[in-house]
Amino acid sequence: MPERRRPHWLPLGFLSVGAAAIALLSALHARQQTAPQESDANESSLAPLVERVRGTVVGVSTVRSADADVPPEIRDFWRRFFGEEPPSQPRTGIGSGVVVREDGLVVTNHHVVEGASEVRIRTADGREFAAEVVGSDPPTDIAVLRIVDLRGELPAATLGESEATRVGDRVIAIGNPFGLELTVTSGIVSAKARVLGAGPYDDFLQTDAAINPGNSGGPLFDMDGRVVGISTAIVAAGQGIGFAVPIDIVRSVLPQLERTGRVVRGYLGVSIQDLTPELAEALGLSIERGALVASVAPDGPADATDLEPGDVIVSLDGQPVEKAQDLSRRVARMSPSTEVRLGVVRNGREREVRVRLGERPDEGPRRTPTPEEEDAGLGLQVGPVPLDLQRRLRIDGGVLVIEVRSGSRADRAGLLPRDVIVEVNREPVSGPEDFVEKVRESRGGQLLLRVMRGEGAAFLVIPPAGGSNSK
């Protein structure tokens, strides 16, 4: 709806002169508006941009073995009664990609080619080639392919700078949604630095340019024809909510993927979380930003220093750390063996800790032991931690959370089954009885817990009885 303008009233004595002036100004205004309207009509068409960049976009098709999808009971049935493996049909998949170098180097998503036994690429001019996976990086969902037996060269896209991209900038997405080759959609950058919970390096661009299955791995172009992102995810329940990996992240991993097939990242060896107002109050801290250290990995780089749970990292090499993910991203971009300076707040005083980074290890599988239950009185069931789990976590004692009742104080605090509680109000927990005793001593007051979760740790605040905890 056009904006309504307030009328400008003129005194009656100036009516005739004012009318002439208004007529003159209106004529000048009309002349000024005519040319831009024609220009805008031309500029509103995205055809010239699409024609310039569409040749750099490719379709990616894959073939995967279906053997891994056969349930064990079905496999056993076929072996027992037929003496052979169950029949299986290969699974095919489709995605998109973008040529980033004329000799046939292509960027796509990791999930497009994950587990593929065969990869083929179809170029914009209709040619098909076999391709090999040069390297893949699950944490960023980026993979690099190389076309096999390419004759001649392919047009390559220009990589832009996602950091310089602004919310509101226009973009176009090109890909193969549902196999519809070289489909073009347009929109804007709706948001930046979106965290979806996909991993520690979440930093997605959000766009309302339509992205559908098959667009994965395709480029997001700015109005200058530069790639600013790689389409990767959508919100299935929503409309106009798509996400792309920022091209700056692609730039950072591309050289390693091409050279070694994997990405080596710096590793500090700590589990960290955001310092919330509730945690700051529970820890008696006056600061409101930083990465709270929840645990220090045994034999990790930080273990060689005096960093300890409860410390708050507020700077890295002199640059402020606002949130935990900020620290994770910056450390990950550094090379192993780099010495870094951490600004650390402990008991209200800031100090400097120097750490030589290691190489980030691959995460192992999570185990799920099931010990006996004992009521802890907080709306959760706890039990002793098995010795093998204690040895793996390098703890002495603690309690294992078995069940959390919906709506309870423990539930509002974010406790989950299989969490291991190792501290209550900064005091170590030796076992279930000690845990129950410490809870009773609080007399329904607020509790600060340190919890081991998987291979990491976190501090959680259980609100007072009858109170609430914002999450």
What are the catalytic residues? 111, 141, 216
**Amino acid, single-letter form, for residue 255:** P
Q: What is the DSSP letter of 306?
A: T
Q: Which two tokens stand for residue 225?
A: 């024809």
DSSP 365: P
Query: Per the structure block, which two tokens stand in for 58?
Result: 């490719």
How far is residue 440's CA from residue 430's CA, in Å, rounded to a whole number? 15
Q: Quote the tokens at residue 410.
A: 């423990």
User: Cβ(147)–Cβ(129) under 8 Å?
Assistant: yes
- C-alpha Rg value of the chain to the nearest Å: 29
Nearest Cα to Cα of residue 383 among 393, 397, 395, 394: 397
* Residue of 221, 166, 163, 210 whose CA lies nearest to 191: 166
Q: Which of 121, 154, 143 is nearest to 55 (CA)?
A: 154
Residue 257 identity (one-letter amino acid): L
How far apart, in whole angstroms, are the C-alpha atoms of residue 268 and residue 265?
10
Distance of CA 3 to the CA centre of its chain: 39
Which residues have CB under 8 Å from 137's CB, separation 6+? Answer: 110, 143, 253, 257, 262, 263
The 8-class DSSP code of residue 239 comes to S
